Amino acid sequence: MWTRALLKANAKTVLRRSYWRVFLMCLIASLLAGDIDLNFNLVNTQINYQTTVEQASRLVGGNLLPVLLGTAFAMVGVLALVVVLVASLCWGILFSPVVRVGQCRYMIQNRAGEVGLGTLFSGFTSSYWNTVSGMFYANLRIFLFTLLLVIPGIIKAYQYTFVPYLLAENPDMEPARAAEISTLMTDGEKWNIFVLDLSFLGWNILGSLLFGIGTLFVTPYYSATQAELYAAMRAKALAAGIVSEAELSGETF
Protein backbone atom coordinates (compact mmCIF):
# COMPACT_ATOMS: atom_id res chain seq x y z
CA MET A 1 0.00 0.00 0.00
CA TRP A 2 1.47 3.32 -1.05
CA THR A 3 1.03 6.70 0.55
CA ARG A 4 1.79 10.20 -0.70
CA ALA A 5 4.33 10.69 2.06
CA LEU A 6 6.16 7.47 1.17
CA LEU A 7 6.28 8.24 -2.56
CA LYS A 8 7.57 11.76 -1.96
CA ALA A 9 10.15 10.55 0.53
CA ASN A 10 11.44 8.00 -1.99
CA ALA A 11 11.48 10.67 -4.71
CA LYS A 12 13.54 12.99 -2.52
CA THR A 13 16.01 10.18 -1.85
CA VAL A 14 16.47 9.64 -5.58
CA LEU A 15 16.80 13.37 -6.28
CA ARG A 16 19.49 13.89 -3.63
CA ARG A 17 21.94 12.20 -5.96
CA SER A 18 20.45 13.19 -9.31
CA TYR A 19 18.47 16.43 -9.02
CA TRP A 20 20.40 18.54 -11.53
CA ARG A 21 20.60 15.74 -14.08
CA VAL A 22 16.85 15.23 -13.80
CA PHE A 23 16.33 19.00 -13.93
CA LEU A 24 18.24 19.20 -17.22
CA MET A 25 16.34 16.26 -18.67
CA CYS A 26 12.97 17.69 -17.65
CA LEU A 27 13.89 21.10 -19.03
CA ILE A 28 14.82 19.64 -22.42
CA ALA A 29 11.69 17.47 -22.43
CA SER A 30 9.50 20.48 -21.60
CA LEU A 31 11.02 22.51 -24.41
CA LEU A 32 10.59 19.70 -26.93
CA ALA A 33 7.27 18.23 -25.86
CA GLY A 34 5.56 21.07 -24.03
CA ASP A 35 2.20 22.40 -25.12
CA ILE A 36 2.41 24.94 -27.96
CA ASP A 37 -0.09 27.76 -27.90
CA LEU A 38 -0.39 29.02 -31.45
CA ASN A 39 -2.65 31.94 -30.48
CA PHE A 40 -4.08 32.23 -33.98
CA ASN A 41 -7.51 33.79 -34.46
CA LEU A 42 -9.02 33.37 -37.89
CA VAL A 43 -11.81 35.84 -37.20
CA ASN A 44 -9.43 38.59 -36.18
CA THR A 45 -7.22 37.75 -39.14
CA GLN A 46 -10.14 38.20 -41.52
CA ILE A 47 -11.20 41.48 -39.89
CA ASN A 48 -7.65 42.83 -39.94
CA TYR A 49 -7.30 41.81 -43.57
CA GLN A 50 -10.53 43.55 -44.57
CA THR A 51 -9.56 46.68 -42.64
CA THR A 52 -6.14 46.78 -44.28
CA VAL A 53 -7.61 46.38 -47.76
CA GLU A 54 -10.20 49.10 -47.17
CA GLN A 55 -7.60 51.51 -45.84
CA ALA A 56 -5.25 50.83 -48.73
CA SER A 57 -8.08 51.24 -51.22
CA ARG A 58 -9.04 54.62 -49.79
CA LEU A 59 -5.45 55.82 -49.91
CA VAL A 60 -5.26 55.35 -53.66
CA GLY A 61 -8.78 56.43 -54.45
CA GLY A 62 -10.31 53.01 -54.84
CA ASN A 63 -7.61 51.59 -57.11
CA LEU A 64 -7.86 47.81 -57.62
CA LEU A 65 -4.11 47.25 -57.06
CA PRO A 66 -4.12 47.40 -53.25
CA VAL A 67 -7.07 45.03 -53.21
CA LEU A 68 -5.14 42.52 -55.28
CA LEU A 69 -2.05 42.96 -53.14
CA GLY A 70 -4.11 42.58 -49.99
CA THR A 71 -5.68 39.40 -51.34
CA ALA A 72 -2.26 38.00 -52.20
CA PHE A 73 -0.92 38.75 -48.72
CA ALA A 74 -4.01 37.23 -47.15
CA MET A 75 -3.58 34.03 -49.17
CA VAL A 76 0.06 33.80 -48.12
CA GLY A 77 -0.99 34.33 -44.50
CA VAL A 78 -3.63 31.61 -44.68
CA LEU A 79 -1.16 29.23 -46.32
CA ALA A 80 1.39 29.95 -43.60
CA LEU A 81 -1.28 29.30 -40.97
CA VAL A 82 -2.18 25.96 -42.53
CA VAL A 83 1.50 24.93 -42.67
CA VAL A 84 1.98 25.86 -39.01
CA LEU A 85 -1.15 23.99 -37.94
CA VAL A 86 -0.16 20.85 -39.87
CA ALA A 87 3.39 21.01 -38.53
CA SER A 88 2.05 21.44 -34.99
CA LEU A 89 -0.28 18.46 -35.42
CA CYS A 90 2.54 16.27 -36.74
CA TRP A 91 4.78 17.39 -33.89
CA GLY A 92 2.08 16.54 -31.36
CA ILE A 93 1.58 13.06 -32.80
CA LEU A 94 4.99 11.97 -34.07
CA PHE A 95 7.43 13.72 -31.74
CA SER A 96 6.11 14.97 -28.38
CA PRO A 97 4.60 11.64 -27.21
CA VAL A 98 7.84 9.81 -28.01
CA VAL A 99 9.76 12.31 -25.90
CA ARG A 100 7.22 11.76 -23.13
CA VAL A 101 7.86 8.01 -23.23
CA GLY A 102 11.61 8.65 -23.21
CA GLN A 103 11.18 10.87 -20.17
CA CYS A 104 9.33 8.08 -18.36
CA ARG A 105 12.05 5.59 -19.32
CA TYR A 106 14.67 7.98 -17.97
CA MET A 107 12.84 8.35 -14.64
CA ILE A 108 12.31 4.61 -14.30
CA GLN A 109 16.00 3.90 -14.82
CA ASN A 110 17.07 6.85 -12.69
CA ARG A 111 15.61 5.11 -9.65
CA ALA A 112 18.39 2.54 -9.90
CA GLY A 113 21.33 4.75 -10.80
CA GLU A 114 22.82 7.28 -13.19
CA VAL A 115 21.21 7.50 -16.62
CA GLY A 116 22.51 9.05 -19.82
CA LEU A 117 20.62 11.98 -21.29
CA GLY A 118 20.28 10.05 -24.55
CA THR A 119 17.65 7.87 -22.87
CA LEU A 120 15.24 10.75 -23.37
CA PHE A 121 15.43 10.12 -27.13
CA SER A 122 15.59 6.32 -27.03
CA GLY A 123 12.02 6.03 -28.30
CA PHE A 124 13.13 7.28 -31.71
CA THR A 125 15.48 4.35 -32.20
CA SER A 126 13.47 1.44 -30.82
CA SER A 127 9.94 0.46 -31.89
CA TYR A 128 9.22 4.05 -32.85
CA TRP A 129 5.97 3.46 -34.69
CA ASN A 130 4.54 1.24 -31.98
CA THR A 131 5.33 3.93 -29.42
CA VAL A 132 3.61 6.52 -31.60
CA SER A 133 0.63 4.20 -32.07
CA GLY A 134 0.36 3.46 -28.37
CA MET A 135 0.40 7.10 -27.32
CA PHE A 136 -1.94 8.11 -30.17
CA TYR A 137 -4.40 5.40 -29.14
CA ALA A 138 -4.46 6.64 -25.55
CA ASN A 139 -4.56 10.35 -26.41
CA LEU A 140 -7.29 9.87 -29.00
CA ARG A 141 -9.53 8.04 -26.54
CA ILE A 142 -8.93 10.73 -23.91
CA PHE A 143 -9.84 13.37 -26.48
CA LEU A 144 -13.01 11.57 -27.53
CA PHE A 145 -14.15 11.15 -23.93
CA THR A 146 -13.41 14.83 -23.32
CA LEU A 147 -15.81 15.68 -26.15
CA LEU A 148 -18.58 14.04 -24.13
CA LEU A 149 -17.89 16.05 -20.99
CA VAL A 150 -14.81 17.27 -19.19
CA ILE A 151 -15.17 14.85 -16.26
CA PRO A 152 -15.18 11.65 -18.40
CA GLY A 153 -12.10 12.96 -20.18
CA ILE A 154 -10.30 13.53 -16.87
CA ILE A 155 -11.24 10.05 -15.67
CA LYS A 156 -9.98 8.50 -18.89
CA ALA A 157 -6.75 10.49 -18.61
CA TYR A 158 -6.15 9.03 -15.16
CA GLN A 159 -6.99 5.56 -16.42
CA TYR A 160 -4.22 5.91 -18.99
CA THR A 161 -1.70 7.49 -16.60
CA PHE A 162 0.71 4.59 -16.92
CA VAL A 163 0.55 4.04 -20.69
CA PRO A 164 3.80 5.98 -21.36
CA TYR A 165 5.53 4.09 -18.53
CA LEU A 166 4.39 0.73 -19.89
CA LEU A 167 5.60 1.67 -23.37
CA ALA A 168 8.84 2.90 -21.82
CA GLU A 169 9.44 -0.54 -20.32
CA ASN A 170 8.16 -2.51 -23.29
CA PRO A 171 7.96 -0.40 -26.47
CA ASP A 172 6.62 -3.43 -28.37
CA MET A 173 3.52 -3.72 -26.21
CA GLU A 174 0.29 -3.49 -28.20
CA PRO A 175 -1.44 -0.11 -27.75
CA ALA A 176 -4.73 -1.64 -26.63
CA ARG A 177 -2.90 -3.88 -24.17
CA ALA A 178 -0.99 -0.96 -22.67
CA ALA A 179 -4.27 0.92 -22.22
CA GLU A 180 -5.88 -2.16 -20.69
CA ILE A 181 -3.07 -2.72 -18.17
CA SER A 182 -3.03 0.95 -17.20
CA THR A 183 -6.80 0.87 -16.69
CA LEU A 184 -6.50 -2.17 -14.43
CA MET A 185 -3.57 -0.66 -12.53
CA THR A 186 -5.53 2.51 -11.79
CA ASP A 187 -8.75 0.75 -10.88
CA GLY A 188 -9.72 2.03 -7.43
CA GLU A 189 -6.68 4.31 -7.36
CA LYS A 190 -7.70 7.21 -9.61
CA TRP A 191 -8.90 9.40 -6.74
CA ASN A 192 -5.70 8.76 -4.78
CA ILE A 193 -3.60 9.64 -7.83
CA PHE A 194 -5.65 12.81 -8.32
CA VAL A 195 -5.04 13.82 -4.70
CA LEU A 196 -1.33 13.12 -5.21
CA ASP A 197 -1.32 15.50 -8.17
CA LEU A 198 -3.29 18.02 -6.14
CA SER A 199 -0.62 17.95 -3.44
CA PHE A 200 1.77 19.64 -5.88
CA LEU A 201 -0.62 22.55 -6.46
CA GLY A 202 0.98 24.66 -3.76
CA TRP A 203 4.44 24.11 -5.20
CA ASN A 204 3.25 25.06 -8.67
CA ILE A 205 1.53 28.21 -7.41
CA LEU A 206 4.71 29.17 -5.57
CA GLY A 207 6.76 28.50 -8.69
CA SER A 208 4.41 30.59 -10.81
CA LEU A 209 5.14 33.65 -8.71
CA LEU A 210 8.51 33.91 -10.51
CA PHE A 211 6.95 34.30 -13.97
CA GLY A 212 6.53 30.52 -14.15
CA ILE A 213 10.28 29.88 -13.95
CA GLY A 214 9.94 28.41 -10.47
CA THR A 215 7.79 25.57 -11.78
CA LEU A 216 10.82 24.29 -13.69
CA PHE A 217 12.44 23.47 -10.37
CA VAL A 218 9.33 21.63 -9.16
CA THR A 219 9.09 19.42 -12.26
CA PRO A 220 11.93 17.05 -11.25
CA TYR A 221 10.25 16.48 -7.89
CA TYR A 222 6.91 15.76 -9.56
CA SER A 223 8.47 13.49 -12.19
CA ALA A 224 10.40 11.52 -9.59
CA THR A 225 7.25 11.10 -7.49
CA GLN A 226 5.32 9.87 -10.53
CA ALA A 227 8.06 7.32 -11.22
CA GLU A 228 7.76 6.11 -7.62
CA LEU A 229 3.99 5.85 -8.08
CA TYR A 230 4.46 3.72 -11.20
CA ALA A 231 6.91 1.47 -9.35
CA ALA A 232 4.40 0.97 -6.53
CA MET A 233 1.50 0.28 -8.89
CA ARG A 234 3.70 -1.98 -11.00
CA ALA A 235 4.49 -4.14 -7.98
CA LYS A 236 0.79 -4.24 -7.07
CA ALA A 237 -0.17 -5.29 -10.62
CA LEU A 238 2.41 -8.08 -10.61
CA ALA A 239 1.19 -9.33 -7.24
CA ALA A 240 -2.42 -9.31 -8.47
CA GLY A 241 -1.53 -11.20 -11.64
CA ILE A 242 -2.72 -8.37 -13.89
CA VAL A 243 0.48 -8.60 -15.87
CA SER A 244 3.66 -10.67 -15.85
CA GLU A 245 7.23 -9.53 -15.42
CA ALA A 246 8.06 -10.86 -18.90
CA GLU A 247 5.31 -8.78 -20.50
CA LEU A 248 6.40 -5.65 -18.65
CA SER A 249 10.13 -5.99 -19.18
CA GLY A 250 10.20 -6.07 -22.97
CA GLU A 251 13.50 -4.95 -24.43
CA THR A 252 16.45 -3.90 -22.33
CA PHE A 253 17.64 -0.35 -22.87
- The domains of the chain are located at 4-34+100-249, 42-86
**Total-model pTM:** 0.82
String of DSSP letters for 153-186: HHHHHHHTTTHHHHHHH-TTS-HHHHHHHHHHHT
Under 8 Å between Cβ of 248 and 234: yes
Q: Mean pLDDT, 10 residues at a time, over the chain (253 residues)?
A: 94 96 95 54 42 47 63 80 86 92 96 94 91 96 91 94 96 96 96 96 83 85 97 96 89 44
pLDDT of residue 66: 66
